[in-house]
Amino acid sequence: MNDHPIQIENVSRSYGKTKVLSNLNLSVKKGSIYGFLGRNGSGKTTAIRMLAGLITPDEGSVQILGHDPFLAGAEEKQWVGYMSEKGIIPPNVSISRVLQLGRELYPNWDGALADALVGKYNLTPKKKISTLSQGKQRLLAFIMAIAPKPKVLLLDEPAANLDVVARREILDEVLGLIRECESTVLFSTHILSDVERVADEIGILAGGSLRVSESLDSLKDSIRQVRFYGFPGALPENGIEGGFRTVRGRDEFLVTMRSTGLVTPEEQSRRWKCLYETRPLSLEDIFVELSLYQEPKP
Amino acid sequence: MSTIKQLWTLAKFQLAVTPGVSYLAIGSGFSCIADFVLFVLFRDSKGPTSLDLLISNQLIYFVLIFGSIWLVPNLGGGRKRQSIGAAGTEFLLTRAVDRHLLFRSRSLLFFFLLLIIPLICFAFSLHQPGQKLFESNGSLYQRVMQELPGSMPQAPDTDGKLKYIFLPEGNILIGMWRIWSPLFLGITTLSLLTFAQKYKYVWWLFSPLGLVLVIFYCFPTVFSHGFFGVERDELDPNTAFFFFYATHQTLCWLIAIPALFLSLLWYERDARQIN
């Protein structure tokens, strides 16, 4: 638990007949920033809502700091900061009333930090939430998540509706929190440049489970697009075992695969008696390739 | 953070989040206090009044209906959303609060708003326990004389026309009824919502089905003074219910108090499971 404050094991969850998560396994190392990627509807928010204690899995277990977040009490929840992808702060109250709630509920509430961020983001304390723009509401939600100095910070699409400057400021605050409190951060986003900027580890969710979960450098090093060409005869019928997406051309294969997988490009080219060349992929390419890849049914 | 402190913090925030319900409670309270206090304190200057007027309190139903909006965690976004934005359920559940205390704070606040004004009225009734009733309806006159403890017919007033019944502890009886009846309706509402919120069609309660319930609740009192001027011979349901209460007071309270605790526990147990 101490090394991995966030743990999801064999979790499945359905909404009606739609299975959103299927046997999801995920763990995040203490003090790291985990970028949680996936297409719309891939189940990122469902997984984060489970970690926030809002919903329970149908199967499997979820733990934050060694506790089931759904059953966790105030004592345990004071160490978890959460920012939803939606505006969930009640619209009828003022900013100062929301901050007051934070002060009253969290013993570790950093009032100076909250006040500084309110000033930095030009939030007027007397204003009601309903009068704020979507972006300002998100900034307040971020303050509410970060000011308790949480050990675990869950950010669901923190950058949505924010301008570039605000996004960068948020990322800087997250990095500051990590430095100061050794917090563990899991954040979902569609903005891959944010992930490249701050994430230590990346998970790509597709088909209800993680396609990959590793450091950005390792991911970029190991996943390549390989072009097999110069076949002596017709193209082989079967693709590559252990590869991700395969695009079959007229006289070539384009395969996204791990350079260190079960079958290396070199071995495969020997088997096929063909030539090959590899090209590195950007994070965006990797994301697209892995998201589009359909796992073969057992 | 202690349980009491957490409940207090949550209740204060709930009041700020849904101010409308508080306004309704206060609004209904003003009317409630106004008529009751007038009848209690200025009874002699106003003259005897009718039982119907004293036991009806329609505005409390609005507190019931709108207060219950807090109680349903998956209300607000219709069928698609799992939790409320407006009442802040999702926001509060993801803060450092005990899940069950959030729901406890809501149900306690609901009963507090429902009962605070009746309790104030009851305090007034202790100050002035006697009540004069004037009943022109013969059957009602008979029922008052037969079923309300200590009722005494009084001699005509100086002009010789007005005849009334004096109830030595009438205000206390009516004050208690004004506490018991919203309490009973509150328990019913809470239990109904607890039962219904397990089902995805709970939102019906706040649409056509809700309207039916409102009518179900309000009909007895709203139409208690005669419908389109047609005089009635029989007692309306609200008055009949009052007489049932007056003749079975101990039983009513023996049922209401445990039912209150059971409904609170049932609601809290089920609401905390919602996800």
**Alpha-carbon gap, residue A228 to A225, rounded angstroms:** 10
H helices present in chain A, as ranges: 44-51, 74-77, 95-105, 111-120, 134-146, 164-181, 192-198, 216-222, 265-272, 283-292
List the structure tokens of A169: 């400021």
Strand order in the sheet with A6-15: A18-28, A6-15, A59-64
**Alpha-carbon gap, residue B24 to B30, rounded angstroms:** 10
Interface of B with A (CB under 8 A): 1, 6, 9, 13, 16-19, 82-83, 85-88, 90-91, 93-99, 101, 275
Weakest mean pLDDT among A249-253, A266-270, B137-141, B208-212: B208-212
The closest of A148, A204, A212, A201 to A177, measured between CA atoms, is: A148
pLDDT of residue B168: 86
The closest of B118, B221, B130 to B170, measured between CA atoms, is: B130
- Asked if A46 reaches chain B (Cβ–Cβ under 8 Å), the answer is no
The 10 Å Cβ neighbour count of residue A80 is: 27
Choose the closest CB to A91 out of B86, B96, B101. B86
The closest of B185, B255, B178, B180 to B213, measured between CA atoms, is: B185
CB contact under 8 A, B85 and A86: yes
DSSP SS3 for A21: strand
Counting every residue written for chain B, the total comes to 275
- Asked if A56 reaches chain B (Cβ–Cβ under 8 Å), the answer is yes
Test mutation, B7, B14, B94, chain A, max A CBs within 10 A = B94
- Asked if A103 reaches chain B (Cβ–Cβ under 8 Å), the answer is no
Helices B99-127 and B60-71, interaxial angle, to 10°?
160
pLDDT of residue B81: 43
User: Confidence class of residue A182 from pLDDT cuts 50, 70 and 90?
Assistant: confident
For residues A200 and A183, the answer to whether their CB atoms sit within 8 Å is no
In whole angstroms, how far apart are CA B127 and each of A84, B49, B130, B131, B175?
53, 18, 9, 12, 11
Contacts of A175 (CB under 8 A, 6+ apart): A33, A198
List the structure tokens of B121: 């009225």
Residue A176 φ then ψ, to 5°:
-65, -40
**Alpha-carbon gap, residue B84 to B76, rounded angstroms:** 5
The 10 Å Cβ neighbour count of residue B39 is: 23
Q: How far is A158 from chain B (nearest CA, A)?
A: 16
List CB contacts (< 8 A) between B6 and chain A.
74, 105
| The Cα angle at residue A225 between residues A222 and A226, in degrees rounded to 5 | 105
| The Cα angle at residue B17 between residues B15 and B19, in degrees rounded to 5 | 60
CB contact under 8 A, B96 and A77: yes
pLDDT of residue A255: 87
- Asked if A181 reaches chain B (Cβ–Cβ under 8 Å), the answer is no
**Alpha-carbon gap, residue A98 to B16, rounded angstroms:** 10
- Asked if A90 reaches chain B (Cβ–Cβ under 8 Å), the answer is yes
CB contact under 8 A, A89 and B91: yes
What secondary structure, in 3-state letters, does chain B show?
CCHHHHHHHHHHHHHHHCHHHHHHHHHHHHHHHHHHHHHHHCHHHHCCECHHHHHCCCCHHHHHHHHHHHHCCCCCCCCCCCCCCCCCHHHHHCCCCCHHHHHHHHHHHHHHHHHHHHHHHHHHHHHCCCEEECCCCHHHHHHHHHHCCCCEECCCCCCCCCCCEEECCHHHHHHHHHHHHHHHHHHHHHHHHHHHCCCHHHHHHHCHHHHHHHHHHHHHHHCCCCECCECCCCCCHHHHHHHHHHHCHHHHHHHHHHHHHHHHHHHHHHHCCCC
Mean pLDDT of A36-41: 91
pLDDT tens digits, A202-223: 999 988 889 889 998 888 888 8
B209 against A241, higher pLDDT: A241
A57 against B57, higher pLDDT: A57
pLDDT of residue A123: 92
User: Confidence class of residue A35 from pLDDT cuts 50, 70 and 90?
Assistant: very high
Any idea of the CA torsion for A202, A205, A206, A210, to the nearest 10 degrees?
80
List CB contacts (< 8 A) between A70 and chain B.
99, 275
Mean pLDDT of A24-45: 92
CB contact under 8 A, B88 and A90: yes
Report the relative pairing of strands A184-188 and B165-167 from DSSP bridges. unpaired
In whole angstroms, how far apart are CA B198 and each of A20, A72, B71, B195?
22, 22, 13, 6
Choose the closest CB to A70 out of B17, B86, B275. B275
For residues A184 and A31, the answer to whether their CB atoms sit within 8 Å is yes
% of chain A beyond a pLDDT of 90 = 47
Contacts of A276 (CB under 8 A, 6+ apart): A226, A227, A228, A229, A265, A266, A268, A269
Count Cα atoms within 13 angstroms, Cβ side, for A240. Answer: 31
The closest of B171, B170, B56, B173 to B125, measured between CA atoms, is: B171
pLDDT tens digits, A71-129: 999 999 999 999 998 888 988 899 999 999 999 999 999 999 999 999 988 999 999 99
The closest of A35, A34, A10 to A23, measured between CA atoms, is: A10
* Pairs of CB atoms within 8 A across A/B: 76
Choose the closest CB to B17 out of A73, A90, A144. A90
Test mutation, A92, A108, A153, chain B, max B CBs within 10 A = A92
pTM: 0.83
pLDDT of residue B260: 96
Mean pLDDT by 10 residues, chain B (275 residues): 90 84 70 65 63 71 72 50 59 92 90 85 84 77 83 71 79 89 89 77 61 63 50 67 89 95 92 77
User: Does pLDDT of A47 surpass 90?
Assistant: yes
For residues A49 and B274, the answer to whether their CB atoms sit within 8 Å is no
pLDDT of residue B83: 40
A203 against A16, higher pLDDT: A203
Counting every residue written for chain A, the total comes to 298
To the nearest whole number, what is the mean pLDDT of chain A? 88
Q: Which element (helix H / strand E) includes A15? A: strand A6-15
Q: Identity (one letter) of the amino acid at A282?
A: S
Mean pLDDT of A223-233: 88
A243 against B218, higher pLDDT: A243
List the structure tokens of B223: 């139409």
**Alpha-carbon gap, residue B14 to B17, rounded angstroms:** 5
- Name the percent of chain A in helix, strand, coil, to the closest 5: 35, 30, 40
**Alpha-carbon gap, residue A175 to A198, rounded angstroms:** 8
**Alpha-carbon gap, residue A151 to A6, rounded angstroms:** 10
pLDDT of residue B223: 54
